[in-house]
Amino acid sequence: MKRWLITGLLALLLLAALCGCSRLVPSSYTLVTPHNADTKTEKQSDVLTVYDYKTLKNALRTLVQNGVEHGVIHTNQYSGDVEEDLPDAVYEIAREDPIGAYAIDYITHDCTLIVAYYEIKIDITFRDVLTPLDEIEYVGGEAEANRLLCRALENYDDHLTLYATYPGKPDYEALVQEYCDAHLKEHAAQPELTVTSYPADARNRIVELVFDYPASKLELRSMQQAVTESLRAAEIYVRYCASETEKAALLFTYLAERFPYQEGSSRTPVYSALCQGIADSKSMAQSWQLLCDEAGITCQTVSGMRGSESYWRNIVKLDGGYCHVDILRDLLGGGTLRLRYDEDMSGEYYWDQPQTPACPAPVPEEEPPAEEQPEPPAETEPGEPEAPEETPAQPDGTQSATPNEPS
């Protein structure tokens, strides 16, 4: 009986202890972590898995393309020595791959063996690029690249970034010059161009073109409008001329009366020539070309030499004949428009003559020969009898009879 009492008492004590413990252990809990407002958000990647050198490079390229600053890569039954491959793969992506060469400023890596695999940690510092990677234009040939270049120039864009996948290097300076010369009326300024390739000498490369204009896009549009208005005014000024020669002379007067011209170069060539009175031989020849086009006069711009210096001028067709004009020279001389011919240019101007029309001096028209007038009869002295006409002798020696004379 005593044993049963002791056993029951122990059971009651154990039950009471268990009930008390339930109050000491909470059924749930909440972990609160203070928010750090200064924490910088950085791009991190999910863990990438690689199996060999090729997949290792692909993983690195993926991190770069996605803009991941801190990435983790794990190996899985890696074929090769990952510790030897990693520095080579990092160098190839950072310096020889177009995307990496363009985007990466600095890259570090760490490789740690964890039991049966390697964990690779990649830290990337990216350059401040002008064009985000997902906005780069991919081009497979020069024609496509030139089309995008023309579009950027037309819009006065400050840069263009291309991913080129074709051999050869276009002469971007020449392409920009060609576009500007062909669009004098529509394009107010030629930009200074900076071209950088990533990598420098690779078939596949990213090409970054930076255009430096002398004014804002809004100011350039305003200059473009001013040129258009000046050309329209010139066309109205010469509209009622009877001949092309008269038109050319009046166009010259239109220029001469606008400004006292000064010789000088400008990055807004046609605008400066037509709207500011500042021009060199090229910008003036280009402006005269536009004026003639507007007035309906056949004209071409000619480059060559004057003396020992590069020089530009024009050849125009006036009323059926070609001639040379040097507008800048005539404006600075303060005179009138002078029409020059090939013989006038010899010894001072030099150009590729087979590529331009001949400009012979007009041959003066010959005056028709005067009609011969009959000689007047010789006059006789007053009172002097006229000599009688001799009568031809007959075969028998006698004189023939004259009319009205009896035989």
* CATH number of the domain encompassing residue 236: 3.10.620.30
Q: What local confidence, expressed as pLDDT, does residue 381 receive?
A: 55
Task: Please say whether the beta carbons of 282 and 324 come within 8 A.
Answer: no
The Cα–Cα gap between 267 and 273 comes to 11
Q: What local confidence, expressed as pLDDT, does residue 153 receive?
A: 97
Domain assignment present for residue 25? The answer is no
Q: What local confidence, expressed as pLDDT, does residue 335 receive?
A: 78
Domain assignment present for residue 388? The answer is no
Residue type at 329 in one-letter notation: R
Same domain, 291 and 174: no
Torsions phi, psi of 138, nearest 5? -90, 130
Same domain, 160 and 97: no
Positions of the chain with pLDDT lower than 70, given as ranges: 1-45, 367-407
Same domain, 93 and 163: no
Domain endpoint, select from 194, 213, 232: 213
Same domain, 344 and 235: yes
Separation in Å, CA 105 to CA 40, 99, 195, 296, 334 = 19, 12, 19, 57, 59
Residue type at 202 in one-letter notation: A
Separation in Å, CA 316 to CA 196, 255, 305, 326 = 42, 17, 18, 11
Domain assignment present for residue 405? The answer is no
Domain count, the chain: 3
Q: What local confidence, expressed as pLDDT, does residue 201 receive?
A: 85
Domain endpoint, select from 126, 160, 183: 126
Structural domain of residue 311, as residue ranges? 219-355
The Cα–Cα gap between 57 and 334 comes to 71
Domain assignment present for residue 396? The answer is no
Same domain, 60 and 173: no
Task: Please say whether the beta carbons of 165 and 197 come within 8 A.
Answer: no
Domain assignment present for residue 264? The answer is yes
Q: What local confidence, expressed as pLDDT, does residue 11 receive?
A: 52
Domain assignment present for residue 37? The answer is no
Other C-beta atoms closer than 10 Å to the C-beta of 325 total 23
Domain endpoint, select from 330, 355, 380: 355
Same domain, 73 and 158: no
Q: Which two tokens stand for residue 368?
A: 């028709």
Domain assignment present for residue 370? The answer is no
Domain assignment present for residue 27? The answer is no
pTM: 0.73
